[in-house]
A and B are shown apart, each in its own frame.
Chain A
Amino acid sequence: MTDGLSPPMMNGKRAGWRAFDAKPGAEAIGLGLALLAVIAVFSLLSPRFLTLATFDSIAFQLPELGLLTLAMLMPIISGGINLAITFTANICGLTLAWVLHANGGSDAGILAFLLGAILAIGVGTGSGLVTGLVIAYTGAHPILVSLSMMIFLRGLGEFLTRGGDISGFPDFIQPLGHGSLIGLPVPLLILMVAVAIWHVMMSRTRLGFSTYMIGSNIEAARYSGINTKKVLVLIYALSGAMCAIAGIIMVARFNSVRVGHGESYLLITVLACFLGGVNPFGGFGRVLSVVLALIILQVLSSGLNLLGANQHLATALWGLLLVGVMILRWVSGRLGLIMRR
């Protein structure tokens, strides 16, 4: 007996959101239009916007954010959240850095790099695994579990680096962060592959299907034969693995690792998910729409950068944008209810 108007202060799912779980076509069109609008506005504001250089910078910056957003996506759709993504990426980058340093630093060979990368992915997947295990088997709230993991990883990172920067990596890493293949930046290619995999996984595999069901009602999913514990563990493990890839790319891009790097990305990934139509309570959301939303945000970010906007002002802007998107969803939810009457 709900009237759909009770405040959703962390409790349960509310009917009002369904109005916004729009048809894929409508969603994509809406986002596409928004993207065009943003591009148009910035083109007017700055003559240097619609240039190859801008596109280049967007194309190179997008991947880290994109990979982290993919890492955030599955947990949110499953009805949870992974607040540890940025520090997981850090730790994975650190792992890579440590392996490289232990094998000669800037003189390290490709083998060392491969070993480091594999280890980094292992670390990322491992921390995701632990998070998933705790959530699945103790039923603790994903916010708390991922938050504690975040605190732990941050502490671990600071302990290992004593708060400083780690740099001095071999040159062959450069192309990974700054090179191009078939005309497209390498990181972007990696992101595209990841998006393709995620898209297919969410829309056409048993894992993806189960994720949506669990997000809507985990108990009912269990009764219908879904191995909910296994799925939850996989979701967070994959999230961790994706963070690892993001971390590796960040090492290649910045040629250094510092704990806390990319901290501000957390908000943007959440923003991209909600802007892309993911239901905050779980159960609904499309990979491609989120990617579109991500592109919009990246274009915004690059545009602001170009205009010389202050870094901190940009941070505040993201916050306002997140609030704005949520308010819009509320408005459209109310309109939907009103129209249905």
Chain B
Amino acid sequence: MPKHVVPRLLRAHPTETWLVIVLAVICAGLSLTTTQFLTVANVFNLLNTSSVNLIFAVGLLVVLIAGGIDISFAVAASVVQYVAALALAGIGGGGWLSGLAIAALAGMTLGAVNAALIHYFRIISIVVTIATFNIFFGLLMFFTHGVSIYSLPEWWTRRAVLFEYQQANGTWAELTLPVLIMSVCVIATWVLIRHTTTGRQLYAFGDHPEGAKRLGINIAAMHFIAFGWLGLMAGIGGLVQVHYAQEVVPNALIGRELDVLAAVVLGGARLGGGRGTVLGCILGVFLVSVTQNGLNLLGVSPYAFKMIVGAIILAAISLSSAPLGQMLARGRQRWQS
């Protein structure tokens, strides 16, 4: 069996390699055309603002790997925000630990609802999550009357700086707490899917559910863990988003799910399951945020962002899908044996 000449990296991780190149090109381009891009302040700002999306993204990644899809998590995050605000008020304020615990619990519960409907009633995940999107949103808006919550515990809204750096021009570049929380979530997800048996089982299940079943993998566990993890991330992400915005607004996150999904798919996860890496996720999210950041710095109207990002995603999806990969693989197979 002749070993391939093509470098291992390119063959095993084509999407990630491709993304790194594109990202590098964009960054290079931006640093040349604007003075503000390659500053510490801007980089820190990018990290700060991408945190929430990245938390959502690694959660969604797990669901995609397991072969499903979920468009209800942003609404679920909004629900968790509200629930957390009320619960924390109830326990007299709380702190980061109690906040995270409540958010985690609430988020996982909502994720479990999706998992239960998908598993016990054999309904495909796109249909279930379209339904739960509407159920969660409708109930949320009904019970809250669309009212935002402004008075929140101090720890939640106080800007927490992890690391400061004074730039040459005197302004301070700050790295904030969300980045830390995001890093923990990202690393935890990475450990889960790469280094635990549960994670590997998720890959197997997403790849070939029937085969996984024959091996004795617990299918219910797969569903609940995948959607539960996304629920967990949605809850945490929601919490962090409030920290950022300093208020709880019921429909602030609506629409976020599509941007996150697009970024995760850009990063190499595919709808059929069995594929996707945390690195790809990170690259996908940053590609989108760097593009938006760049467009902003270049003075392009913010309304154009969505349009341009949508066009990029359309192009990326068209170029990266299975048949092209299959054609390449088949071409390679012809030269073998």
Contacts and interface: CB of A to CB of B under 8 A. Distances in A.
Complex A–B touching at CB under 8 A: yes
A316 B72 CA distance: 13
B272 A158 contact: no
User: For the complex, would chain B's binding face be called helix, strand, loop or mixed by DSSP majority?
Assistant: helix
Question: Interface majority SS on A: helix, strand, loop or mixed?
Answer: helix
B314 A149 contact: yes
A154 B131 contact: no
A141 B68 CA distance: 13
Contact of A141 (B66, B121, B321): B321
Nearest to A10: B67
A122 to B, nearest CB: 19
Counting contact residues on chain B (CB < 8 A from A), the size range is 35 or more
A329 to B, nearest CB: 8
B27 interface: no
B117 A323 contact: yes
Contacts of B124: 8-10, 280
Contacts, number: 185
Interface residues of A, number: 55
Interface in A1-37: 1-2, 5-11, 14, 16
A185 B273 CA distance: 48
Given A2-B210, A144-B317, A330 B121 contact: yes
Contact of B310 (A154, A315, A320, A327): A154
A190 to B, nearest CB: 27
B305 A10 contact: no
Contacts of A8: 122, 124
A98 interface: no
Interface string A140-173: 1101110111111111101100110000000000
A312 interface: yes
Contact of B262 (A11, A81, A147, A153): A147
B133 A319 contact: yes
4 closest A-B pairs by CB: A155-B306, A316-B138, A152-B310, A155-B307
Interface of A: 1-2, 5-11, 14, 16, 81, 134, 138-141, 143-145, 147-156, 158-159, 162-163, 264, 266-267, 270, 274, 280, 310, 312-320, 322-323, 326-327, 330
13 contacts: A7-B122, A10-B273, A138-B323, A141-B271, A148-B317, A152-B313, A159-B306, A266-B130, A312-B142, A315-B134, A319-B134, A320-B131, A322-B134
